[in-house]
A = this chain, B = another copy of it.
Amino acid sequence: MRMTHLFTKTQKEPPKESESANARLLVQAGFVDQLMAGVYTYLPLGLKVLQRIQSIVREEMDAIGGQEILMPALLPAEPWKTTGRWKDPGPEVMFQFKGLGKRDVGLGWTHEEIVTPLVQKFAKSYKDFPVAVYQMQDKFRNELRAKSGILRGREFNMKDLYSFHTSVEDMEAYYDKVLEAYKRVFERCGIVAIPTEASGGAFSKVSHEFQTPTESGEDTIFVNKAGDYAWNKEMFPKMKDGDDAPDGSGPVKETKAIEVGNIFKLKNRFTDAFKFTFVDEKGKKQPVYMGCYGIGPSRVMGTIVEASHDERGMIWPKSVAPMPVQLVSLQSKDKTMQEKIENKSEALYEDFKKLGVEVLWDNRDMSIGEKLADADLIGLPLRLVVSEKTLKEDSVEWKLRAEKEMQLVKLQDVLEEVVTFVRE
């Protein structure tokens, strides 16, 4: 994409109400725009990141047998009254209003009340189980004080997976499978996310959150020595940094963290409410067991920014970057040289296009300093610079955003090297 075509612009100064790094950097770089507190528009570069995260999540959900569906956001009150959640937590988290004449309706903040009767319509015999369905959808929460940029929004993107089983054992086995799939999702998104024991709420003793350690996190967790398991302070309010871990694996380390996913064993909390049973081999009705599993792609996007930026801007992992490469053509005072820079850049840009490599080409008429500052702010993984200096050596400058070092790569080799970089 040519930057002259991109309708957004970077801002020299961070926005005034920059409550958190992700809001400040994403707004400043033109990835998102705040419409009201906790409600954001995804602009072209930001939407590409969100879509890449969604693709990774979708692949991993499909790989564990999840079937993608799309439930509505506009929901009738009745099933929520059946489970009691129309009143508790009710309007505290759910937008509720009268619509369609005088009918009570609300906006979806989670979908147990919708998915349970839906699956119940089709799954009746033991032969129909297990069932795992998921959706990728914008959800709504009536947060009185939305903050932390896109980390905790009033409207946010959510992947919610629900599974239904004929036994507790089968539910537990699938829960473990999801836990492994979640590890792969976060690894592919380039963030550390530690499985963390947390309260199971009303449903079960323990659930797991995936927590990404960063200073800006709202949660406090205690990480084990190996760094691959943690305990939420909510469950262990008296634990301190350096204490022995609950599993006896040695001293824990206290850290702030952001919750990027969670998995729950709901058991029969919702299936019982809807009298959802199955008929077993002997023709007898038996209870159905359920699990639910959430990842918020928009929150993952904000977390990546929190965990991966420096004083100059964002540093996108290649797997979720809007594009892998930013091509920067620097200005020259020499008119002939300027033309040569432009032509060479355009030729490279067209070659990359033919090779299927997505490139953000900074072809704007702007100072060298502004262009390099914008490249750092936007933070694509690889920056190629074409300038008077590099052309004199038949080269382009090659710099990874995550590293300080820069080098020259011969023009004749650059296509091949970039393709290798993108595919590796």
A→B interface (CB under 8 Å): 5-9, 30, 33, 35-44, 47, 50, 65, 67-76, 95-101, 105, 107, 114, 118-119, 121-123, 128, 131, 133, 138, 140, 142-144, 146, 154-155
Contacts and interface: CB of A to CB of B under 8 A. Distances in A.
- Tell me the dominant secondary structure on chain A's binding face: mixed
Contacts of A98: 97
A156 B30 CA distance: 29
Contacts of A75: 35
Contacts of A76: 35-36, 39
A143 to B, nearest CB: 8
A72 B39 contact: yes
A43 B121 CA distance: 12
Nearest to A146: B100
Given A36-B76, A47-B69, A95-B99, 5 more contacts: A7-B67, A33-B118, A41-B69, A41-B72, A44-B67
| Residue picked from A67, A98, A131, most chain B C-beta under 10 Å | A67
User: How many copies of this kind of chain does the complex include?
Assistant: 2
Nearest to A127: B4
Contact of A33 (B99, B107, B121, B146): B121
9 shortest A-B CB distances, which residue pairs? A97-B97, A42-B70, A7-B131, A74-B155, A44-B67, A39-B72, A41-B71, A36-B76, A72-B155
A110 to B, nearest CB: 15
Nearest to A111: B41
A35 B71 CA distance: 9
A43 B74 CA distance: 17
A5 B76 CA distance: 29
A2 to B, nearest CB: 11
Contacts of A42: 69-70
Contacts of A38: 100
Given A7-B128, A37-B100, A70 B95 contact: no
Given A99-B95, A100-B142, A142-B100, A122 B8 contact: yes
Given A43-B69, A44-B69, A95-B99, A74 B122 contact: no
